[in-house]
Chains A and B, each alone.
Chain A
Amino acid sequence: MSNKPAPPSEPRILTCGDTALAVEFGTTMDAGCNRRVFALDRVLKSIPFKGITETVPTYRSLLVHYDPLRLGFSELSDHLLTLLDQPETTERRFRHWRVPVFYDGLDLADVAKAHDMPAEELIRRHSTPRYDVAMIGFTPGFSYLRGLDPVIATPRRTQPRISTPAGTISIGGVQAALQCLAGPSGWHLLGRTPVRTFDPRRDPVFLIEPGDNVTFEQIDAAEFARLERLAERGEAVAELIA
């Protein structure tokens, strides 16, 4: 009755009900693991297979939704295991976005103090890395970012906030996040971006894909206000660097 055991580091196929399964590459936030998730996701995109309805890449596994009326669990498992054995042939091309941030977060001063550094130093360390969008989930457009400077890693708040603003830029543990909609959060709020990763009235509705890269750029209050007006009119206001 339990899920198929497999030796460590070998991908495992795990049941997620009768309409989905997960291909698990590991149980940590390891970068290599996340890359393998995206590699399988790309292969599935390039070679359509009857009955697969959608995929959800996460830090360490790929969730594959399928239609059990067209495709059985064993058939899909066998197919996925075959794909895992093949070397990746498709070219990896991720987009790199520059995302403007107004660093006025409620927790900016406290986090800087906790790390015994001026706020400017915290901002510099937060806006320097090229982050990987490890996954999008939790709420619409909520982008989990891998690549936070370990010097500013900060344990999550003990008291989560019931509400945080749309566009919140936060850090929690070793992760950074770009949040789209207003909502609850237990992470530390460093600032806000006018960028909306999800806007149902805009074309494209979704700006950032799982697997893309993001770098933050500090802006001032006036620029934030200007860009936010543009974003409300449906402009992306995030710049594609590559």
Chain B
Amino acid sequence: MSVLEVVTAGPLTSVQDFGRFGAQRYGITPSGAMDRLSLAAANALVDRPLSAPAIEIGPTKTVFTVRGGALCVALSGALRFTRIGDDPCPLYRTMTLREGETLTLDATRKGMFSYLAVSGTLKGEPVFGSFSVNARAGLGSPYPRPLQGGDQLAFENTVSLPDRSMVPPVFGDGDIRVVPGPQYDEFGKSTGTFFNSPWQISPTSDRMGYRLEGPTVAHAGNFNIVSDGTVDGSIQVAGGQPIVLMKDRGTTGGYPKIATIISADLGRFAQTRPRHTFRFAIVDVDAAQQETRAFHALLQSLPGKVRINT
């Protein structure tokens, strides 16, 4: 059995899969990978199920080492300098980490999250069908919290793979698409402000929510509503400042929601760095669901996009 050991990790580094469903009525949020497309691509490269648990690595410098035997790994997602020992480690390509070697990921240059998948089965116990870390609920496996230096992730049934690579998959570009939220009508003319203004993401954002910086968005009820349910990508407005609820969101909320980011664009949005300017564009639910189908088709096509280099 080979072990991937964390040497240093930033606060946004944790084990994630596609998430935990069925217990939102008890306040358990699904969690799961911030960028499902990148997680699935890393898994496809190491010949694992697309939704298998892998390591989601945040934007700061992170270092791993290997004990107990070699591991075949693949990295996807954010652009950053990455090396094995002193040698550059390409993204979207299988690499072998030998016993005692270190894998270093510098801070990201473009994007927020990387995914490190291993060609083996992560040892742990899924909780409600998922390994995903939900730190607030104390859920997740093998550690029910973000990763820290010294943590050891054991992998069984590891296999050595040939040199495999993939052109990084992309889905959509430009404006982040949204459908009207449940309290859309209560924002009146402010919906114009919301859609016609450029936005930036605040550096204080995390897996619970991305705060947006831009103009003040007014609400007819002074931002108070009787709590109702939330979804991934809900854009709630508290005191005029929009917050996009992400994977570790609360399951209910007492602030009005102007819009919801469509599920196919949420991973791309999650990879948006602070200070980068973007806009929202409105679409209807039918158009959003066409995008959902296209996104799902892209996910399913990933294993077929893996090239074996000879």
Known: A2-B185, A57-B25, A181-B137. A69 touches B296 (CB 8 A): yes
Q: Is B218 an interface residue (CB 8 A)?
A: no
Among B28, B136, B184, B251, contact of A3 (Cβ-Cβ < 8 Å): B184
Which of B16-24, B102-110, B165-173 is found at the contact surface with chain A? B16-24
| Bound-state Cα–Cα, A141 to B137, Å | 9
Q: Is B234 an interface residue (CB 8 A)?
A: yes
Closest chain B residue, CB of each to CB of A73: B285
Q: Is the CB of B231 within 8 A of A16?
A: yes
Q: Is the CB of B251 within 8 A of A138?
A: yes
Which chain A residues (108-161) contact chain B, with CB distance < 8 Å?
135-142, 144
Known: A17-B262, A200-B139. A138 touches B250 (CB 8 A): yes
Which of A22-30, A92-100, A230-238 is found at the contact surface with chain B? A22-30
What is the total number of residues of chain B having a CB less than 8 Å from a CB of chain A?
49
B164 → chain A, closest Cβ, in Å?
A: 28
Q: Is B180 an interface residue (CB 8 A)?
A: yes
Q: Is the CB of A17 within 8 A of B27?
A: no
Q: Is A20 an interface residue (CB 8 A)?
A: yes
Q: Is the CB of A58 within 8 A of B22?
A: no
Closest chain B residue, CB of each to CB of A33: B226
| Bound-state Cα–Cα, A143 to B282, Å | 35
Q: Is the CB of B260 within 8 A of A15?
A: yes
Q: Is the CB of A56 within 8 A of B185?
A: no
Q: Is A72 an interface residue (CB 8 A)?
A: yes
Among B136, B231, B284, contact of A1 (Cβ-Cβ < 8 Å): B284
| Bound-state Cα–Cα, A65 to B23, Å | 12
Among B24, B28, B127, B229, contact of A61 (Cβ-Cβ < 8 Å): B229
Q: Is B275 an interface residue (CB 8 A)?
A: no
Known: A22-B229, A53-B21. A140 touches B27 (CB 8 A): yes
Q: Is B157 an interface residue (CB 8 A)?
A: no
Which residues of A lie under 8 Å from residue B264 when comparing CB positions? Answer: 18
Interface residues on A, range: 35 or more
Q: Is A195 an interface residue (CB 8 A)?
A: no
Which residues of B lie under 8 Å from residue A138 when comparing CB positions? Answer: 27, 227, 250-253
| Bound-state Cα–Cα, A25 to B168, Å | 45
Which residues of B lie under 8 Å from residue A19 when comparing CB positions? Answer: 231-232, 263, 292
Q: Is the CB of A198 within 8 A of B228?
A: no
Q: Is the CB of B25 within 8 A of A210?
A: yes
Q: Which A residues form the contact surface with B (CB < 8 A)?
A: 1-3, 5, 14-20, 22, 24, 27-29, 53-61, 63, 65, 68-69, 72-74, 135-142, 144, 180-181, 183, 197-198, 200, 206, 210
Known: A56-B252, A58-B229. 4 other contacts (CB 8 A): A17-B234, A137-B250, A140-B136, A200-B138
Q: Which B residues form the contact surface with A (CB < 8 A)?
A: 21-28, 127, 136-139, 179-182, 184-185, 225-234, 250-253, 257, 260-264, 282, 284-286, 288-289, 291-293, 296
In the complex, 22 of the A-B residue pairs with CB atoms within 8 angstroms, ordered by the A residue number, are: A2-B184, A5-B185, A15-B181, A15-B285, A16-B230, A17-B231, A17-B262, A19-B292, A20-B231, A27-B226, A54-B21, A54-B24, A56-B252, A58-B229, A61-B229, A73-B289, A136-B26, A137-B27, A137-B227, A140-B137, A142-B27, A198-B137
